[in-house]
Amino acid sequence: MAKSPSTNYTATGTNFPLANTATDPLAKEDLFTLQQALEQHTHDSTRGLAIRRVNTADSPSGNGQLQINGDSFQWWAAVASAVRTAAQLESAQTWTGQQRFNQPILAPMQAPPAPPGTGLSVIYPKADGLWYRRSGTGTEAPLGSPPGLTFTAKGLDTLGTPGTWAEFRSLTLAGINWVQTFDGAATEQADFSFPVPPSYVGTPITFWVQWMTTATAGNAAFQVNASVTGTGGNLSAGMGVVAAMTTFPAAGTSYRKSLSSLPWTATLPAANDWIQARFYRVAANLADTIDGVDVDVLSVTVTFG
C-alpha cells in the first residue's frame, strides 16, 4: 500500500494524499485536506489545473461565466449587465458604442488602400497626415482641413461702395507678398468663398488669419460674416455673423507675421454646403487700437475640426 501527495494542489492545506490502489486506506486527515482543496479550488497556480474548456452552449448570464460562441469569446459584464465579446484581431470588426483610447494610436505610413464598400470611408496615414478614401470613385483627400484659402474675390471695387473694400496689393519683403490691405480708420472687407468638404461631420470650424502690420502696439479687430447655401438653395440669401469680432495684439515689431484664430460661433453648416464669406477688419470699433495704421492680411485658412 502506498499513497502519494497531490501534484495539482500544492498550496498550504490543500496538498492531499492520492491513493494509488483501491485498497489504499484514507485517514480522516486525508479527507480533511481533500475538503480544503475542494473548497479553495480556483484554477489558480497551486489550486488545481488551469481551465481547459469553456462553455459552448449557454450564453453568459452571471459573473465569471464564459462562452465560446462560434468564433467569438464572450463573457458576462456585471457592471453593464450584458454579454461582451472579445475582438477578433485577425478579421474585420464592427465596433458599437463609444470607444476611448487612453494612449496615443500609432499607425505606419502606407499606400492608399482600395476604395471601401458602398457608404463607407477608410482612414489611413499618408504623407505625415491622415487621409480618407470614400466608396464609389475612391476619392482620396486629406482628413480634417483643406489647403489654405487666400482671398478669391474683391481685388477691385465693382458693385461695392467705394472705400469699403480692402486694397489688393503686393509688398516687397524678402520677395513679393500679395496681401489684402485693410484701412486703419474704417471698417473694410474682402470676400472669399469655399465648399464644405463632403466628409465634414459637424466638427468645429475655425478661420485662421495670417497678418502683419507696421504698428508695434495695439489690437486689430477681425470678424467673419457668411451665408451658407445647400444644394438647390438661394445664393442671394443675406449674410450673418458666423465668427464674432475678436481682437488680436500686434506682434510688437514692424512687419512681424501674426497668426490669429476666429472660431465659427453660428449654426454649423452641413457637408457640401457652399460658404460665401466676408472678412472684416473692424478698425472703426473702439476695440481696434492700432489707430490709423493699415493691417496686411496674407491669407485666411479654414479648418474643419
Instruction: Give 68's pLDDT tier (boundaries 50, 70, 90).
Output: very high
Lowest mean pLDDT among 64-68, 137-141, 213-217: 137-141
Report the pLDDT value the prediction gives residue 263, as an integer from 0 to 100: 94
Whole-prediction pTM: 0.54
Kindly provide the residue ranges of all beta strands, DSSP E only, lying in 235-294, ordered along the sequence.
Answer: 240-249, 258-263, 274-282
Please tell me whether residues 219 and 280 are part of one structural domain. yes
Any domain includes 94? no
CB 290 within 8 A of CB 231: no
Pick from 279, 260, 264: which is nearest to 208 by CA?
260
CB 205 within 8 A of CB 268: yes
pLDDT at residue 229 above 90? yes
Any domain includes 155? no
Please tell me whether residues 189 and 287 are part of one structural domain. yes
100 Cβ contact list (under 8 Å, min separation 6): none
Report the pLDDT value the prediction gives residue 156, as an integer from 0 to 100: 47
Q: Determine the Cα angle at 257 with ends 251 and 258, to 5°.
A: 60
Q: How many domains does the chain have?
A: 4
- Give the residue, 54 or 274, on which the prediction is more confident: 274
Which amino acid, 32? F
Any domain includes 149? no
90 Cβ contact list (under 8 Å, min separation 6): none
Instruction: Give 120's pLDDT tier (boundaries 50, 70, 90).
Output: confident
Instruction: Give 118's pLDDT tier (boundaries 50, 70, 90).
Output: confident
Lowest mean pLDDT among 2-11, 222-231, 261-270: 2-11
Any domain includes 70? yes
Please tell me whether residues 292 and 172 are part of one structural domain. yes
Any domain includes 124? yes
Instruction: Give 147's pLDDT tier (boundaries 50, 70, 90).
Output: very low
Any domain includes 201? yes
Quote the domain boundaries for residue 202: 167-304
60 Cβ contact list (under 8 Å, min separation 6): 66, 67, 74, 75, 76, 83
pLDDT at residue 20 above 60? yes
Q: Determine the Cα angle at 153 with ends 170 and 151, to 5°.
A: 60
Report the pLDDT value the prediction gives residue 173, as an integer from 0 to 100: 73
Please tell me whether residues 172 and 295 are part of one structural domain. yes
Percent of the chain past pLDDT 70, that is, above it, reads 87
pLDDT at residue 299 above 80? yes
For residue 195, the surrounding DSSP H or E stretch is strand 187-195
Please tell me whether residues 216 and 283 are part of one structural domain. yes
Percent of the chain past pLDDT 90, that is, above it, reads 25
How many beta carbons lie within 10 A of that of residue 131, not counting itself?
18
pLDDT at residue 304 above 90? no
Report the pLDDT value the prediction gives residue 119, as an integer from 0 to 100: 80
CA 182 to chain centre: 36
